[in-house]
Amino acid sequence: MVNREHVLDAAERAIRREGAGVSIDAIAHEAGVTKPIVYARVGKRTDLSDALAQRLADRLIEAARTAIGKRRNPRTQLVALIQSNLETLAEHRELFLFVAGGASEDMPQRTLSLAERSAIPLAKQLASWRTTAGLDPSVAVAWSYSIVGLLNLVSMWWITESDQSAEQLAEQVTELLWSGLSGAPPKLPPR
């Protein structure tokens, strides 16, 4: 019996091979089933995108946990978190583009769902960083959604247009965010 996970695994393989514009027919073929079976196990394209967005969000969270690991310096943790986000999205480039490029009527809900799965663990980390710095942690939730949104847009630009390394971009984004986390004024470029 073909279950939902089998179809989602096949969808990921088809997306990796054919790109973000993959058809449901191609996904069904990859799964070795008919298109109605894909619909029965997963749902329409929007449902497929939602399920794959959840998988991608879980990978982002796990990569961030691993990257932060035993690092104790909050700035180093932030660089590691951003770099792991970039590298995970680059590794799953076509999946990210598939999830991010859904139908216009479902994008706000999927974007918010993907952000929420990523933002809640980040909010806890931000609250911890701000508390450690002697700053008000109550802004952590709003900031985490802002950072996740920033990372999604920066990642989209980076994987489609930029030639910078993930490490370089992570340092640049950290520099942008760090003053709000540490309470220190941002470093401004010399005149």
Residues 33 and 57 in one domain: no
Report the length, in residues, of the chain.
191
Query: Are 16 and 80 members of one domain?
Result: no
- Domain range spanning residue 24? 1-43
Indicate the DSSP class of residue 186.
P
**pTM greater than 0.85:** no
Domain membership flag for residue 190:
no
- Please write the tens of the pLDDT for every residue from 171-191: 999 988 887 666 655 455 555
Residue 189 lies in a domain: no
DSSP 8-state symbol, 104: T
Instruction: Answer whether residue 99 is part of any domain.
Output: yes
Q: How far is CA 51 from CA 5, 9, 56, 113, in A?
A: 10, 11, 9, 10
- Structural contact between residues 166 and 151, judged by C-beta atoms closer than 8 angstroms: no
Percent of the chain with pLDDT over 90: 36
Q: Do residues 57 and 123 share a domain?
A: yes
d(CA 92, CA 81): 17
Specify whether 3 is located in the same domain as 59: no
Supply the CATH number for residue 4's domain. Answer: 1.10.10
What CATH code is carried by the domain that includes residue 175? 1.10.357.10
- Give the count of domains, the chain: 2
Q: Domain for residue 188, yes or no?
A: no
Q: Tens of pLDDT along 3-41?
A: 999 999 999 999 999 998 999 999 999 999 999 999 999
If we measure between CA atoms, which residue out of 111, 177, 172 comes closest to residue 144?
A: 177
Report the mean per-residue pLDDT for the chain: 83
87 shares its domain with 14: no
What was the pLDDT predicted at 16?
96
Q: Residue 61 — pLDDT band, cuts 50, 70, 90? A: confident
